[in-house]
Amino acid sequence: MRSLLYTIGSLLILLLSHDGGFTGAADAEHTFRATDIHTHRHRRNHGHRRGEEFEYSALSCRAYSASLDEFGAVGDGVTSNTAAFRDAVSQLSHFADYGGSLLFVPAGRWLTGSFNLTSHFTLFLHRDAVLLASQEESDYEVIEPLPSYGRGRDTDGGRFISLLFGSNLTDVVITGENGTIDGQGEPWWGKFKRGELKYTRPYLIEIMHSDGIQISNLTFLNSPSWHIHPVYSSNIVIQDLTILAPVTVPNTDGINPDSSTNTRIEDCYIVSGDDCIAVKSGWDQYGINYGMPTKQLLIRRLTCISPDSAVIALGSEMSGGIEDVRAEDIIAINSESGIRIKTAIGRGGYVKDVYVRGITMQTMKYVFWMTGSYGSHPDEHYDPNALPVIQNINYQDMVAENVTMPAQLAGITGDQFTGICISNVTITLSKKPKKVLWNCTDVSGYTSGVTPEPCQLLPEKQPGTVVPCNFPESSIPIDEVKLQRCYSRRRFM
């Protein structure tokens, strides 16, 4: 079957080169598909129930499609399908220049180790499809540390490749009908806690050095470590995701945009043992030398539960810089902090031009938290004179209830965090709040219409008048990107 698909693809490419090609992928409802030839032949020889068209939204539609079970995969939750996934992606990669391809994952429990993605490609999960990540270390190649980190996050050496991995790709879509990708992370968590890992734990998705990424309409469970990690990439849409991990497990961050530009994260529900969204750009001297910031980041309509971490964390690995971050319409429940800025001496870099508005919080340890003493380092070779710049941080239109402490704001002596604006914020305290409600050192800025009364380092700008903070009126490019309506055929064998 696989060789047949490859042969068909080769013939189609040959025909395209002589006859001028078939209809483009943007008109996918009427597009010829390579697997339609196989479908017709199968019906003729074996009988076939009528196919069903399904609709989805994507950055790009695809001209060709195939189903995972055509490659010998078995969805029983026990049989390894690593070879089937790798073979399917390899075969479908031949259509990258001819309208792209879609791999349909039907209902079932599909156990698999790591596999690579390809360009102009869609991975689509049926609503009852579950990708089960292998728990065997041998199913994950060991790859080099990220150059902006200099080492793995868990260990000094390399790192296990992610379950779904891609590098130097264009136009990649991972989507579905709310199908599930389950990292089955419990054995990894245990090895990490016991110090038994030689390499850093795998993520569920990591896409590097790529342009045009969509991850949408899926549920992610129990990653060994971070769930979704776009890094050194641009033009990214992440939306309509549910991400769930035990709140007691460290480093199970939800989404980690890292040294990436023009990213939109929206309509996500995240429960995590670590930050729901962690914005990063490299670690100490490695991030400074690599010099690739995260910028033009839009986060909206996020719901987060994270009792021991932040709803949105900026850092602590921010040595390449973080700028132009816009977050709005956020709900935080039972979380340690709302927006947290984490940095340290030796980080260098900057966090600037951060705009946050419209946050509702219930049961929080802190509403605002900034720290300049988050002192983990990759090694002893960091530069103690590399001081971070934190400036133009804007928070407005927030309501928080059952709060232990409104703010813990600690800059660095000789390196103030400047330009902090907090406006139109109402905080209701818990039954047993901290004695000091606002603890502020080495910060400067102003407040307006904030209760309880802030610290003296953030005085009220115009008493009796609520003065709004900055929030840009212009949009960033990714906000103008619209998904297309695409169609493909779900086939029943």
pLDDT computed for residue 491 by the predictor = 55
Q: Tokens in use for 436? A: 């000091």
pLDDT greater at residue 17 or residue 437:
437
Over 50: is that where the pLDDT of 379 sits?
Answer: yes
pLDDT computed for residue 205 by the predictor = 99
Confidence of residue 27 (pLDDT cuts 50, 70, 90): very low
Answer whether 9's CB lies under 8 Å from 36's CB: no
Residue-averaged pLDDT of the chain: 90
The whole-model pTM stands at 0.90
Residue 190 burial (10 A CB sphere; 0-12, 13-18, 19+): exposed
Residue whose pair of structure tokens reads 């239109």 in the numeric block: 397
Confidence of residue 51 (pLDDT cuts 50, 70, 90): low
Average pLDDT over residues 164-183: 98
Confidence of residue 95 (pLDDT cuts 50, 70, 90): very high
Answer whether 200's CB lies under 8 Å from 152's CB: yes
Over 50: is that where the pLDDT of 3 sits?
Answer: no
pLDDT computed for residue 71 by the predictor = 97
pLDDT computed for residue 15 by the predictor = 33
Over 60: is that where the pLDDT of 492 sits?
Answer: no
Q: What are the structural domain ranges in the chain?
A: 51-274+469-493, 283-288+312-376+393-461
The CATH class, in words, for 51-274+469-493 is mainly beta
pLDDT computed for residue 375 by the predictor = 86
Answer whether 137's CB lies under 8 Å from 118's CB: no
List, for residues 52-81, the tens digit of each pLDDT value: 688 999 999 999 999 999 999 999 999 999
Catalytic (active-site) positions: 274
Over 80: is that where the pLDDT of 460 sits?
Answer: yes
In this structure, the number of other CB atoms found within 10 A of the CB of residue 194 comes to 8
Average pLDDT over residues 341-356: 98
pLDDT computed for residue 484 by the predictor = 96
Residue whose pair of structure tokens reads 């490609």 in the numeric block: 121
Over 90: is that where the pLDDT of 43 sits?
Answer: no
Average pLDDT over residues 187-200: 97
pLDDT greater at residue 21 or residue 441:
441
Over 70: is that where the pLDDT of 14 sits?
Answer: no
List, for residues 222-256, the tens digit of each pLDDT value: 999 999 999 999 999 999 999 999 999 999 999 99
pLDDT computed for residue 40 by the predictor = 29
Cα→Cα distances 272→48, 250, 343, 403, Å: 44, 8, 21, 20
pLDDT computed for residue 18 by the predictor = 29
| CA-wise closest residue to 256 among 193, 190, 322 | 322
Average pLDDT over residues 6-15: 39
Average pLDDT over residues 275-288: 98
pLDDT greater at residue 160 or residue 488:
160
In this structure, the number of other CB atoms found within 10 A of the CB of residue 178 comes to 17
List, for residues 132-143, the tens digit of each pLDDT value: 999 999 999 999
Over 60: is that where the pLDDT of 418 sits?
Answer: yes
Over 60: is that where the pLDDT of 157 sits?
Answer: yes
